[in-house]
Amino acid sequence: MFYAPRRPAFAPLHLLALLIALLSLSACEQLQQVAEFVDSISTGAPCESGLECLGGYCFEEERGFPGGYCSELSCEEEGCLGFSSECLVLPLEGSSGAAACFERCDRDNSCERAGEGYTCTLVDDTPVCLPADLAVGGEPGKPGAPCTSDVACEEGLTCLTNLYGGTCARIGCNPDQGCEDGACVTLNPEAAADDVVFACMAACQRDEDCRFGYTCLANDESEPKYCQENEQPEGPRNPDGADDGEPCGANLGCKGGSCIREVEKDQGEASFPGGYCTTRYCGDDEDCNGGICLVQNNQPTCMAGCATDSDCRQGYSCRTGREGRSFCDSTTAPPEIDASGAPALELVCGSQKTYPVEVEAGAVGFLLTPFNPGGLAIEPRTLRRPDGSTLNIQNDYAFHAINPAILTSLAPMLFPATNDTSLANTFGGGTYQMGVASNASETCHYVIAQPSAGRTLRLRFYLVGVPGLSAATAPSNRDLQQAIATMATIYDAMNIEVEVAAYAELSDELTASYSIIRTLDDAFDLVALSEAPGTTLDENLVVNVFLIDDFAVEDSPGLLGISAGLPGAAGLHASPASGLVFSTAGLGEDNATIGQILAHEVGHYLGLRHTTEHLGSAQDPITDTPSCLFPNLGYFCDDAENFMFPFSLGPDQRQTTAGQSFVLRRNPLVRP
């Protein structure tokens, strides 16, 4: 699913005294002092006792940590506070194999406390800062280090991605001269003499010197020992961990040694509520720990196998992947698409996986929605423009190729979804060719052209158990109208006028079922209850907004809203992509914030991503929005006041940009 936004993930109550003291300082001085304070108590900071640390524990100098080292214990299930530490077990004297949090190295594999005797070292393939005397693993980027591409290796080294977990190597060494940082060995000892390739690999003396999945061997007596890939890693990486598909908060909690954390799923992928144990780099099912081996995001990964939704955890459903195998995924497998929800759309269906798409002459953009009526997965792959150039959706348009992971059988796409000059004006009228991947015998699509930049956005509100609010009282309800007015102000800055088309209610029975959303599937079921408001295309181009009492999703605490698609399926009603849902828990107490959240959710539904994704892993494709490396720091980000910031920080998040306006006004839901 695509979540947006959440209540701040970390609420540092012990910063209260500092914040009070900062009231007399300038904004710039406040930023500097708070950032310095947070840094001074985080994992890896100096300390004399646990009272000085955010995680409540201090590795003292007497245990080999110069100046002390802030940490957190018992992190196997919940993970570590913040985003720059990892839960690991080190062979420390007196630790009894207990798990603790350790600071990750900087992106350049350096440590902030390098001058105090700390160095970046690999522990279970994770680069963390430790005292030099305790550096138990190799160095990141050196021969033998794990990698996924050459970028992860030092300059001049190559990532051998064909080996387990990837391995950095220096290709082309001279065996007579050896290697300063490894062992110069033959990569292909069985090759003919003229074809032999030498490379610097990780030198070793015993198996314990090598990473998991590697053994210390020599090709023959004439060559030194080096870490060679096992044919198959022996046994689970963490025998006491959980099986593939089980909840987790840290890699240490999984048998396969890898936890897909919910916060990592921020580039258009499903969110994996509660975490999801997996085993990476599998060759077949035997390499998994209770799962099945599939290719996920171009990487072999073990997922929990299933036959039906009942085989999966709460918040997960049984999905059939490209290889025809079913696994538990956090995306919702939607029901069959009811075409009656699109009375004014021109639906085109056929058996072809590549088909023409006609866009009216003079259009400035269009929304194209491929879908499978039977509910099977569909994934747009290519779009050939009228000029003959081809857009690779997964590569050239990856920032918008998100809906197959959210909706499975529906894949709405907005063209253009960016103001970048290389794409912004390349989607006018003409005949396009769309290529999709699907196992369905028949696929369908519809297209809605945008003749000119839009000006009016219409909303239809469904009231679902909001205390004291009904369709009859909503137009005069002061609190709701204040919230709508806040949203209207935000959109007015982008030259978009917000109108309310209608207020509606569900039956008492449905209201009782959906006023509190307790599973993510329920949210998609709720928007599928929308009904077509008319018979003409113009009547159906409205955004369905489901106002509920609140969310109570166990695996997603603090959830404020869900947009059923990015973008949603314009003009199509009664489908899992036919609206958005968000909580009104603060209505009457903080109407401005409710209005800001409404603006944010509708922004997703119209095709906007977060300015910066969670943990700073990606930015939106719009050229004039600021970004932030560490969005969890909230107000200290340049994009914190933009209405599409990933975390809800209050009613002041009203900034917009011309680029965001450009994209929104290309969506047919914003009428000219």
User: Is the separation of the CB atoms in 145 and 122 below 8 Å?
Assistant: yes
Q: What's the burial of 396, exposed, middle or buried (CB within 10 Å: 0-12/13-18/19+)?
A: middle
Tokens 């007579």, residue located: 176
DSSP letter for 625, please.
S
Burial class of 495 by CB neighbour count within 10 A (0 to 12, 13 to 18, 19+): middle
Binning pLDDT at 50, 70 and 90, where does residue 22 land?
A: very low
Q: Which segment, 228-232, 333-337, 540-544, 608-612, is predicted with the most confidence on average?
A: 540-544
Q: How far is CA 661 from each of CA 185, 228, 403, 562, 594, rounded to the nearest angstrom?
A: 58, 54, 22, 21, 21
> Would you state the pLDDT for residue 149?
58
Strands, E assignment, 55-107: 57-59, 69-71, 85-89, 99-103
Least confident of 98-102, 295-299, 665-669: 295-299
User: What is residue 516's predicted lDDT score, i.e. its pLDDT?
Assistant: 85
State yes or no: pLDDT of 19 exceeds 80.
no
pLDDT value of residue 449: 96
For residue 352, what are its two tokens?
């072809």
- Tokens representing 179? 């290697």
Backbone angles phi, psi at 450, to 5 degrees: -105, 110
Q: How much is the pLDDT for 161? A: 67
Going by pLDDT thresholds of 50, 70 and 90, the confidence category of residue 275 is confident
**Token pair for 300:** 């072999």
Confidence of residue 191 (pLDDT cuts 50, 70, 90): confident
Give the side-chain half-sphere CA count within 13 A for 261: 18
Average pLDDT over residues 58-63: 90
- Residue 21 phi/psi, 5° resolution? -65, -25
Sign of the C-alpha dihedral computed for residues 107, 109, 113 and 118 taken in this order = positive
Residues 6 or more apart in contact with residue 311 via CB below 8 angstroms: 304, 305, 318, 328
Asked if pLDDT for residue 81 goes beyond 90, the answer is no
Alpha carbon 417 to its chain centroid, in Å, reads 18
Peptide bond into 416 cis (omega under 30): yes
How many residues make up the chain in this entry? 672
Q: Packing angle between helix 591-606 and helix 478-492, nearest 10 degrees? A: 50
Report the chain's terminal Cα–Cα distance, integer Å: 30
pLDDT classification of 3: cutoffs 50, 70, 90: very low
Place of tokens 């100096």: 46
**Confidence check: pLDDT of 463 > 60:** yes
pTM for the model stands at 0.58
* Residue 11 CB burial class (10 angstroms; 0-12, 13-18, ≥19): exposed
pLDDT beyond 60 at 462: yes
Higher pLDDT, 513 or 386: 386
Whether residue 145 contacts residue 167, with contact meaning beta carbons closer than 8 Å, is answered with yes
- Our CA dihedral for 632, 633, 636, 641, rounded to 10 degrees, sits at 30
Question: What pLDDT sits at residue 25?
Answer: 44
Q: What is the mean pLDDT of residues 559-579?
A: 88
- Contact between 568 and 614 (Cβ < 8 Å): no
What average pLDDT score do residues 179-208 get?
87
pLDDT band, residue 201 (cuts 50/70/90): very high
Q: Which of 311-325, 388-402, 472-486, 623-637 has the highest mean pLDDT?
A: 472-486
Determine the Cα–Cα distance for residues 218 and 231; give it in Å rounded to an integer: 15
Give the whole-number percent of the chain exceeding pLDDT 70. 83
Q: What pLDDT digit, counting tens, does each position of 515-550 carry? A: 888 767 788 889 999 999 988 999 999 999 999 988
Output b/e per residue, 244-278; b: 16+ Cβ within 10 A: bbbbbbbbbbbbbbbbbbbbbbbebbbbbbbbbbb
